[in-house]
Chain A
Amino acid sequence: MDFSLTPEQEAFQKQVRDFIRQHLTPELREEVEREQYAIGPLGKNFVRLMGRQGWLGIGWPKEYGGQGRGAIDQWIFLEEMAAENLPTGGLTLNSAGPTLMRVGSERQKREYLPKILTGEIEFAIGYTEPNAGSDLASLQTRAVRDGDSYVINGQKIYTSAAHHSTHIWLLARTDPKLPKHRGISIFIVPIDTPGVTIRPLETMGSERSNEVFFEDARVPAANLVGEENRGWQYVTMALDFERLMPHARIRTHLDNLIDYARNTVKDGRPLSQHYHVRIALARLAVEVEVLRLFSMRCAWMIERGQVPNAEASVFKIYMSELNEHIARAAQNIMGAYAAIRGEDRLAPVGGRLEKLYRSFPLYKFAGGTNEVMRNIIAQRGLGMPRD
């Protein structure tokens, strides 16, 4: 039983911190705070810089240009980046890339993998549709073989990275006669393909998202990933690559609230000296600590060659609901100031917790709703019946 890093891992952690300190300019900090999930021009430059210096591929095998580091090292890296809200390449790096390594053609590997590693190629994940959310396998976007190409028709929604990506990693139905999980395939669709239209969606939490429409969009048959009709299998396989999840971003929310409590005087003493505020903050600190342990557990399991399953769902639920707890506590602690947006000079801590209040619902349904996650814990973790 050991909860500590090795000296080598600590040295690596310091190396990551040094890199961040060297390149995190005030302008970049301002941009990542404003853009959240989306990546602005400075963020894009930063991702490319990471690519040039080899950071993006720290977990990729050496044969594909990565550093081949273990899960704990990757976790350390992701934690440090998350603590500063910095982009790390997202699903392109940890989902699409590894899928291409396993099932992509030699040409696809040559064409895409090196550019993913340098940050030149980014995929927007095109899975969700207006009528296919939690029940993703009922998606209706069609891809029909026509000679040497596929013709795509349909619509994707909440494709949050579409406006800053180079390609769409698209899930489309190739055989409507097969059972719903079996007639689906993955395609790589360049974003500038004629017939692909992106329409912006604004969110309550000030993130940018998108709808993507496909009208007779034609891609070469060589852009099919792996075999036709096996897309569902690849997608579920790819989920296993996405289970390294850092917790540190949430710690920054709590740190903001603690800063506020330390620096705000009420009834003649700082809020951090009021009993109920101390208890509320300590309760959140304990929850953040437990979240850190959930995150560490996933990394440790992957390091040992196990696939966290229910354990990843435990993290996801706890993370998303802790965002809510922090936002709700901020309401109580900040009072009326909690509802002032960042653009107003009266907003405490730059309006970051006000923004959290508007955006926390996102985390509870995105990336698998918490209801589906609870099903996974009950059914796969506790062995309760599937039906």
Chain B
Amino acid sequence: MIDLGWSQAQEMLRESARGFLAKEAPKSVVRQIEADPLGYSPALWRKMADLGWLAMPFPESAGGVGGSLIDAGLLAEELGRACLPCPYIHTVAAGLTLLEGGRTDLVAKIVAGDLVVVPAFTEVDPRPIPKALKLAIVPQGAGYRLTGLKRFVEYGHAANLLLCSGRVNQSEAEEGATLMLVGGDTRGLARRTLASTGGDPVAELEFQDVQTDAASLVGDAGRGWPMIHRTINRFLALRAAEMAGGTRRVLEMTVDYTKMRVQFGRTLASFQAVQHICADMAIMADGAELAARQAVWAVDRNPSSDYEVSAAKAFAAQAYSMATINAVQLHGGIGYMQEYDLQFYYRRARSEEVLMGTIEDHLERVATAIGL
């Protein structure tokens, strides 16, 4: 039955999340996190775990609370509103894949807040597609040896565990793709953060004969693409939700500012030219929210929902970029200042737009999904 609203329990979750983030993650904290090489706050992570956020989408049998991805999507919107760098959606997406792979031991650690695990899927060609996948995985002894490069891995430098895609052949096809868990401090793995626009840390990982054991394989060797694909969709649906949350917040900040700012003896908000830009931002914010929520809902039912996911990612990226650019324009000088909060959203919108597939990459995916 069509129901585009949150349930009562979800409304309460949203209220508590918003309250928590307002208190614990104001922009002064975001500023500190951006300055810290770690790139997220373990103390906040612990508190999120205590609030049950990391238990949200996991079944009770794995230590979770039996919620759904929709609850995680709600939290992703709130994290987007707060513009808080934190590997939440990454760990949730990777965790659901670990659950599929039967690693309830690791899921239990995620739920407890003891484990940050992120997908490491992209390389020199930053698109998450089979032909861009090169990292070599070769059987060695009882385990595997990994050689190659991962790039644009969000929180890859700080994660305890990396859920790495690689391949056991030289092909460009789905066949051969393999999922492997690699500890962050494994010998032969060199990690460095890139100087990125967004302030949410993005890493390059170099694998020089990195040795893993047999238990590190997730799923079957050479037949990992369906799992990788589902992880990508779960992650991107949550990413769209995060961007939708950021878009909404930027619109609110802009409306509030224009209502207060007086020029020519009247508020900026009273000018029709300003109202119409805000109306356009509202249209995009509404669309991003609906598309993202639909994507999360669709992925929760069927993780292969490429159409809904890529439509949402493409649209939310468009919306977030458009909203932040217009927000800076309507704020004028103050919006351009590093000490003002808008710049966090402006920079984040840019990095989230291009990570894990640009708008056009996702439109190409939509084209395929609609049979072109």
- Residues in A lying within 8 Å of B, measured CB to CB: 1-6, 9, 72, 258, 261-262, 272-273, 275, 278-279, 281-283, 285-286, 289-290, 293-294, 296-297, 299-300, 303-304, 310-311, 314, 317-318, 371, 373-375, 377-379, 381-385, 387
- A2 and B276 form a contact (CB under 8 A): no
Contact residue among A258, A273, A296 (Cβ-Cβ distance under 8 Å from B2): A296
- B291 and A1 form a contact (CB under 8 A): no
CA distance A382 to B251 in the complex (A): 9
Given contacts A3-B297, A281-B367, A318-B283, contact A384 B2 (CB under 8 A): no
- A1 and B372 form a contact (CB under 8 A): no
Q: Of residues 270 to 289 in B, which have CB atoms within 8 Å of A's CB atoms?
A: 270, 272, 274-276, 278-280, 282-283, 286-287
A-B contact pairs, 25 of them (CB 8 A): A1-B5, A1-B70, A2-B2, A3-B4, A261-B372, A278-B364, A278-B372, A282-B364, A282-B367, A283-B363, A286-B314, A286-B315, A286-B363, A286-B366, A293-B291, A294-B290, A314-B282, A371-B276, A373-B279, A375-B276, A377-B283, A382-B255, A383-B259, A384-B258, A384-B275
- B363 and A282 form a contact (CB under 8 A): yes
Closest-by-CB residue of A relative to B311 is A286
- B276 and A374 form a contact (CB under 8 A): yes
- A279 and B283 form a contact (CB under 8 A): no
Contact residue among A2, A279, A283, A289 (Cβ-Cβ distance under 8 Å from B1): A2
Closest-by-CB residue of A relative to B281 is A382
Closest-by-CB residue of B relative to A318 is B283
- B269 and A385 form a contact (CB under 8 A): yes
B294: interface (CB < 8 Å): yes
- Tell me the smallest distance from the CB of A257 to a CB of chain B, in Å: 11
Top 6 closest pairs, chain A to chain B, by CB: A378-B275, A374-B279, A282-B363, A377-B279, A293-B290, A278-B367
Contact residue among B270, B283, B311 (Cβ-Cβ distance under 8 Å from A387): B270
Q: Which residues of A contact B274 (CB under 8 A)?
A: 384
Q: Which residues of B contact A317 (CB under 8 A)?
A: 279, 283
Contact residue among A4, A286, A289, A381 (Cβ-Cβ distance under 8 Å from B282): A381
- Could you list 20 further interchain pairs (A-B, Cβ under 8 angstroms) beyond the known A281-B372, A384-B275? A1-B4, A1-B5, A1-B6, A1-B297, A3-B294, A3-B298, A5-B1, A275-B364, A283-B363, A285-B367, A285-B370, A290-B291, A293-B294, A294-B287, A314-B283, A318-B283, A373-B279, A374-B279, A381-B279, A382-B275
CA distance A9 to B1 in the complex (A): 9
CA distance A290 to B240 in the complex (A): 14
Q: Which residues of A contact B291 (CB under 8 A)?
A: 286, 289-290, 293
Q: Which residues of B contact A373 (CB under 8 A)?
A: 279
- B278 and A1 form a contact (CB under 8 A): no
- A290 and B314 form a contact (CB under 8 A): no
- A384 and B255 form a contact (CB under 8 A): yes
- Tell me the smallest distance from the CB of A163 to a CB of chain B, in Å: 35
CA distance A290 to B315 in the complex (A): 9
B185: interface (CB < 8 Å): no
Q: Which residues of B contact A1 (CB under 8 A)?
A: 3-7, 10, 70, 293, 296-297
Given contacts A5-B2, A318-B283, contact A382 B311 (CB under 8 A): no
CA distance A110 to B274 in the complex (A): 49
- B314 and A375 form a contact (CB under 8 A): no
Q: Which residues of B contact A296 (CB under 8 A)?
A: 2, 4
Closest-by-CB residue of B relative to A317 is B283
CA distance A7 to B267 in the complex (A): 51
Q: Which residues of B contact A318 (CB under 8 A)?
A: 283, 287
CA distance A258 to B267 in the complex (A): 47
Contact residue among B255, B258, B298, B367 (Cβ-Cβ distance under 8 Å from A279): B367
- A384 and B278 form a contact (CB under 8 A): yes
B172: interface (CB < 8 Å): no
B24: interface (CB < 8 Å): no
- Tell me the smallest distance from the CB of A221 to a CB of chain B, in Å: 42
- Tell me the smallest distance from the CB of B282 to a CB of chain A, in Å: 5
Q: Which residues of B contact A278 (CB under 8 A)?
A: 363-364, 367, 372
CA distance A297 to B4 in the complex (A): 7
- Tell me the smallest distance from the CB of A142 to a CB of chain B, in Å: 32
- B3 and A378 form a contact (CB under 8 A): no
- B2 and A4 form a contact (CB under 8 A): yes
Q: B1-24 CB contact bits vs A (8 Å, 1 = yes)?
A: 111111100100000000000000
Contact residue among B7, B278, B315 (Cβ-Cβ distance under 8 Å from A382): B278
Q: Which residues of B contact A371 (CB under 8 A)?
A: 276
CA distance A318 to B1 in the complex (A): 25
- B1 and A6 form a contact (CB under 8 A): yes
Q: Which residues of A contact B270 (CB under 8 A)?
A: 384-385, 387
Q: Of residues 332 to 372 in B, which have CB atoms within 8 Å of A's CB atoms?
A: 360, 363-364, 366-367, 370, 372
Given contacts A1-B297, A278-B364, A283-B363, contact A294 B370 (CB under 8 A): no
CA distance A9 to B269 in the complex (A): 43
- Tell me the smallest distance from the CB of A369 to a CB of chain B, in Å: 12
Contact residue among B6, B297, B366 (Cβ-Cβ distance under 8 Å from A282): B366
Contact residue among A272, A374, A378 (Cβ-Cβ distance under 8 Å from B372): A272
- Tell me the smallest distance from the CB of A275 to a CB of chain B, in Å: 8
- Tell me the smallest distance from the CB of B261 to a CB of chain A, in Å: 12
Q: Which residues of A contact B297 (CB under 8 A)?
A: 1-3
CA distance A300 to B4 in the complex (A): 7
Q: Which residues of A contact B367 (CB under 8 A)?
A: 278-279, 281-282, 285
Given contacts A3-B294, A279-B363, A282-B370, contact A383 B287 (CB under 8 A): no
CA distance A258 to B372 in the complex (A): 8
- Tell me the smallest distance from the CB of A368 to a CB of chain B, in Å: 13
CA distance A318 to B286 in the complex (A): 11
- Tell me the smallest distance from the CB of B231 to a CB of chain A, in Å: 21
- A285 and B364 form a contact (CB under 8 A): no
- A72 and B2 form a contact (CB under 8 A): yes
Q: B138-182 CB contact bits vs A (8 Å, 1 = yes)?
A: 000000000000000000000000000000000000000000000
Q: Of residues 294 to 351 in B, which have CB atoms within 8 Å of A's CB atoms?
A: 294, 296-298, 311, 314-315
CA distance A258 to B370 in the complex (A): 10
- A374 and B275 form a contact (CB under 8 A): yes
Contact residue among A5, A311, A382 (Cβ-Cβ distance under 8 Å from B279): A382
Q: Which residues of A contact B4 (CB under 8 A)?
A: 1, 3, 296-297, 300
- Tell me the smallest distance from the CB of A363 to a CB of chain B, in Å: 15
CA distance A375 to B363 in the complex (A): 31
- A290 and B3 form a contact (CB under 8 A): no
Given contacts A1-B4, A300-B3, A377-B279, contact A294 B286 (CB under 8 A): yes
Q: Most B CB atoms within 10 A — which of A285, A286, A303, A318? A: A286
Q: Which residues of B contact A299 (CB under 8 A)?
A: 2
Contact residue among B7, B70, B282, B360 (Cβ-Cβ distance under 8 Å from A310): B282
Closest-by-CB residue of A relative to B251 is A382
